[in-house]
Amino acid sequence: MSEPELSAQLAQPAAIPDQLEIVPLFGMVVYPQTVIPLAVGQASVVQLFNEPASGSCLLGLVALRAEDHRPENPRPEDCYAIGTVALVHRLLRLPDGTLRVAAQGLERFTIEEPQPDEGIFRARIRILPEDPPIDKLQESSGALKLLVEQIAGLLSGFNQELLAEISAEDNPQRLVYLVAATMLARRSIAERQRILELGQTHARIDDLRTILTNELRVIQASPSWIVPGNSKPAPPDQPKPASTATAECALLPGSAYWLRWAAAGGELTAIEAVKMSGHGQLRVTGQRGALLRDIAQVALSWVRTGAPKLGLAPDFYDLLDLHLHVPPGASRDDVGSAGVVVVTTLVSLLTRKPVIAGLALAGEITLHGRVLSVGRVRDKALAAYHLGVKTFILPAANARDLDELPSHIQSALTCIFVERIEEVLAAAFR
């Protein structure tokens, strides 16, 4: 259901009390005067809708500060203090107990006196007033609309209903929130939160114009944003692939695809390894940094300790050297997600088995073979869909991060969630 359709169906909100249940959101900022669908899986939040006649309720929605992982039990200090009061309407209860809801953003607020609890917490809040519309904003509002129209004209699959709504919006306050909700989905939480926290509409417009002007230049100048098989880049609500590699390209034994986060968004890159006669040396090239060398050493140590189970001689490493190459470009915060890919690449090389076609991986590893969570999973999954990935192996701890993916992507992309590296290899070489 589109945002205009949701807006037409939702009821008018009641008066806003000075205390609300606060719900932390991972990877999302909700703006006033907009309506967005949400997936709700937290038991403490689902419980709010379990009371009789509780088809909707007023909640305070705040963004979690962390961008790479969801805290186990978020506390007030894990959240931004400024959020949006929303009238949240239950739309659908799924068989697994999760809910699909629509959040109707009403007013900005700041948390004054939090009362921590598990998952959600109650707090005294203060509504933040909006500045009155100013006539002189019409010119800058028109320039903002023009930027959106220019970007939309270069992108395939842009939501034409939202574009029409943005073009027709005369209220500068609502315009900036519509544009932010539509155009900033790929940006960092900090950037999206800044639009919410800015106190004046003209400042929000200026900030959005700066962001979108830079975005337009990148789209016009960078062919790497072109979606394979399409003459136009991906729509703005989906991460632009940062390279032209696709998972449809076959890989030889000794290589595997890593879905990583780079400056331009989700990127698919092949990690490769070769072996040669030697004396047990490991060389790592490409991506710089001590962290990657540590990851490679952990991966190799796990392979060596598990050699018999992999069909390798216990002393296989004594008479050879290994060279691992990881193309540079990954975000420094995302290098750790190469762990499972490095293990898979080494096992593929040493057993002479290629990984299955259309496979990509991401996940951190430990010496004992546990697979740990990674960041930006939703954005990586969106990029995977556009880059031809058929199967995406991910840490089990990240399963909830994909709840908000569009249904057509969920049905097209097979996600396998794992807790141990043995599960990764079983799926990669089946």
Condensed to tens digits (0 to 9), the pLDDT of residues 352-364 reads: 999 998 999 999 9
Average confidence (pLDDT) over 119-141: 82
Domain stop point among 69, 93, 127: 127
Residues 301 and 403 in one domain: yes
In a domain, 151, yes or no: yes
- Over residues 234-243, the pLDDT tens digits come to 444 444 433 4
Helices (H), 16-171: 43-46, 137-154, 160-168
Residues 146 and 64 in one domain: no
CB 370 within 8 A of CB 401: no
Secondary element (H or E) of residue 191: helix 189-197
In a domain, 43, yes or no: yes
Average pLDDT value over all residues in the chain: 83
Burial 193-221 (b: 16+ CB within 10 A, else e): bbbbbbeebbebbebbbebbeebeeebee
CB 256 within 8 A of CB 270: yes
Examine the pLDDT at 282 and tell me if it is beyond 70.
Answer: yes
If one counts the domains in the chain, the total is 3
Residues 337 and 218 in one domain: no
pLDDT at 231: 34
Residues 315 and 411 in one domain: yes
In a domain, 91, yes or no: yes
**What confidence category does residue 214 fall into, taking pLDDT thresholds of 50, 70 and 90?**
confident
Examine the pLDDT at 270 and tell me if it is beyond 50.
Answer: yes
In a domain, 174, yes or no: yes
CB 102 within 8 A of CB 37: yes
SS3 400: helix
Amino acid, single-letter form, for residue 10: L
Which residue segment(s) compose the domain that 174 sits in?
137-225
The owner of tokens 């990583």 is 260
Residues 111 and 163 in one domain: no
Residues 117 and 150 in one domain: no
Average confidence (pLDDT) over 373-402: 88
